[in-house]
């Protein structure tokens, strides 16, 4: 199966929710955990227990593992392995972006079948040019994995770059066009996804960006703690709503550290998203 097919099946089964594993210092403190590798490990173990096998996608944020050095990276490796064992799609949030052999090395670090940090998909940044991502885009296709490209992000400074216009298009529009070209032969969702914040309001329509035609899975961060609601997704994405994979981290993780409470929070969010986006779910999200 292609990445797009696997993602569509996971969303149909569990709802269109991606839950972040963000071991932020503030969350470790809120959970009563120490700011060390032991605290990181206990945090992540609770998240894997709560979410693996119960949500469509789990998204570890690499930076919060990297801050603990080699020991933190070892925890990240185990986390990705545990998600694979549970047959749960992993989206590693690394936002890599470079050129030439360096971009190729990043691609091999995350998207090959034998890489210790291999994930089902990664996030990448296109601001050295969409073409600079070619090693990751092509390797993801070859190995049945996915790549989510930043397009319209939810941070306040994003529009200064993403809304800027070239002679023929906006920067965001050019990124979407690149994804559409790479996904052109996909029967459903393609392997090149786009990151479009749930808080961008009417920017998609104002820029004239056709997300629906891109066949891209649309990762929508900003739900919950950043202020967006499930109802906002209809306004932001319009006809592209069936492609949306909404991302929530702090709003779900606030229910911790109890794994059952975390799972209930994720289930509630997934069910709300499915209702708002008009998406059926094949089986009830487990409690």
Euclidean distance between CA atoms 127 and 32, whole angstroms:
39
Q: Which one is catalytic: 24, 78, 95, 134?
A: 95
Average of pLDDT values for 151-180? 94
pLDDT at residue 169 tops 70: yes
- Quickly count: other Cβ atoms within 10 Å of residue 121's Cβ: 28
Query: Could you give the domains of the chain?
Result: 3-276 (3.20.20.70)
Considering only residues 279 and 85, tell me which one the structure prediction assigns the higher pLDDT.
85
Hey, is 235 helix, strand or coil? helix
Average of pLDDT values for 200-224? 93
Model confidence over 225-271: pLDDT tens digits?
A: 677 888 889 889 999 999 999 999 999 999 999 999 999 999 999 99
Average of pLDDT values for 26-48? 98
pLDDT at residue 284 tops 60: no
Report the helix count and the strand count for the chain, using DSSP H and E: 13, 8
Spatial neighbors of 102 by CB under 8 A, at least 6 apart, are none
How high does pLDDT run on average in the chain?
94
Share of the chain above pLDDT 70, in %: 96
pTM of the model: 0.95
pLDDT at 278: 79
Question: Which H or E run contains 192?
Answer: strand 192-196
Identify whether 95 is a catalytic site residue. yes
Mean pLDDT check: name the lowest of 53-67, 112-126, 194-208.
Answer: 194-208
- Helical ranges in the chain per DSSP H: 3-14, 25-30, 37-51, 62-66, 69-85, 100-111, 134-143, 158-162, 171-182, 203-206, 232-237, 250-253, 259-276
pLDDT at 286: 38
The pLDDT-based confidence of 72 (bands split at 50, 70, 90) is very high
């Amino acid at each position: 199966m292609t990445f797009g097919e696997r993602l569509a099946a996971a969303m149909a089964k569990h709802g269109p929710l991606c839950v972040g594993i963000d071991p932020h210092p503030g969350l470790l403190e809120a959970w009563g955990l120490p700011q060390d590798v032991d605290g990181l490990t206990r945090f992540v173990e609770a998240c894997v227990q709560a979410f693996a096998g119960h949500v469509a996608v789990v998204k570890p944020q690499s930076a919060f593992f990297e801050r603990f050095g080699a020991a933190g990276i070892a925890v990240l490796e185990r986390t990705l392995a545990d998600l694979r064992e549970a047959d749960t799609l992993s989206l590693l949030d690394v936002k890599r972006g470079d050129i030439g052999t360096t971009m190729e090395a990043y691609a091999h670090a995350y998207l090959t079948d034998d890489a210790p940090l291999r994930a089902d998909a990664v996030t990448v940044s296109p601001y050295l040019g969409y073409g600079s991502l070619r090693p990751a885009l092509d390797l993801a296709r070859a190995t049945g994995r996915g790549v989510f490209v930043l397009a319209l992000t939810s941070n306040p400074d994003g529009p200064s770059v993403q809304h800027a216009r070239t002679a023929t298009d906006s920067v965001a529009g050019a990124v979407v066009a690149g994804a559409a070209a790479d996904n052109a032969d996909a029967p459903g969702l393609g392997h090149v996804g786009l990151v479009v914040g749930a808080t961008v309001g009417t920017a998609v329509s104002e820029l004239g960006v056709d997300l629906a035609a891109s066949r891209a899975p649309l990762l929508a961060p900003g739900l919950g703690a950043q202020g967006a609601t499930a109802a906002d997704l209809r306004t932001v994405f319009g006809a592209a709503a069936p492609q949306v994979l909404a991302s929530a981290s702090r709003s779900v993780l606030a229910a911790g550290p109890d794994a059952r409470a975390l799972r209930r929070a994720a289930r509630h969010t997934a069910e709300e998203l499915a209702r708002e986006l008009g998406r059926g779910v094949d089986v009830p999200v487990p409690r």
